[in-house]
Amino acid sequence: MTVNYSEKEIVLEAVKKDGCFLQFASKKLKADKEIVLESVKQNGRALQFAPKKLKADKEIVLEAVKQNGWALQYASDDLKADKEIVLKAVKQYGHALEFASDNLKADKEIVLEAVKQNGWALQYASDDLKADKEIVLKAVKQYGHALEFASDKLKVDKEIVLEAVKQNVRSLKFASDDLK
């Protein structure tokens, strides 16, 4: 007995096993929301192979960043400015802050979540938040070298520098000369 599978069924099976197989799908099937949704659920980075229209689809992008925050880089500019999307992305991968809109790089809640996940993300925060003691403290406790991105005012703060050095002794090189 021969079973006939449609092209869509074959591609759906493939992307359920490896989301990035989406890159090999026909143009028609790359534009199929069901296929793209399955792709990004399996591997958020598959979003890069989706057409522009689906990179602007909130449901698809939300699934992609939940699976892999790095996928935020492939989202539409409007969704890079969507607080819900960016919050999910930075909770999964702090460095995703790099791809957020400038407004969200200045949002304390977003930046706090990003540096909790990965202190190195401080480099992408707005200048105002690089001078925010609460944020910088979280960042250096997670990754001492984040002190490099703190404002000069906080590089002289004994509490901040001590926490950075506790996390990584080599972080002292980013402290003010007075504290060295």
Note the pLDDT of residue 6.
Answer: 87
Provide the pLDDT for residue 169.
Answer: 95
d(CA 22, CA 14): 8
For residue 59, the Cα-to-chain-centroid distance in whole angstroms is: 17
- Split the chain (180 residues) into runs of 10 and give each run's mean pLDDT: 71 94 95 97 98 98 98 98 98 98 98 98 98 98 98 97 96 91
**pLDDT on residue 96:** 98
Tokens 């002292």 map to which residue? 172
pLDDT value at residue 2: 53
For the residues of 34-66, what is the DSSP string, one character each? Answer: HHHHHHHHH-GGGGGGS-HHHHT-HHHHHHHHH
| The two three-digit tokens of residue 144, written as one number | 């001492």
> To the nearest whole number, what is the mean pLDDT of the chain?
95
- Residue 161's alpha-carbon distances to 7, 36, 146, 153, in angstroms, are 59, 46, 10, 11
- Non-local CB neighbours of 27 within 8 Å, separated by 6+ positions: none
pTM tops 0.75: yes
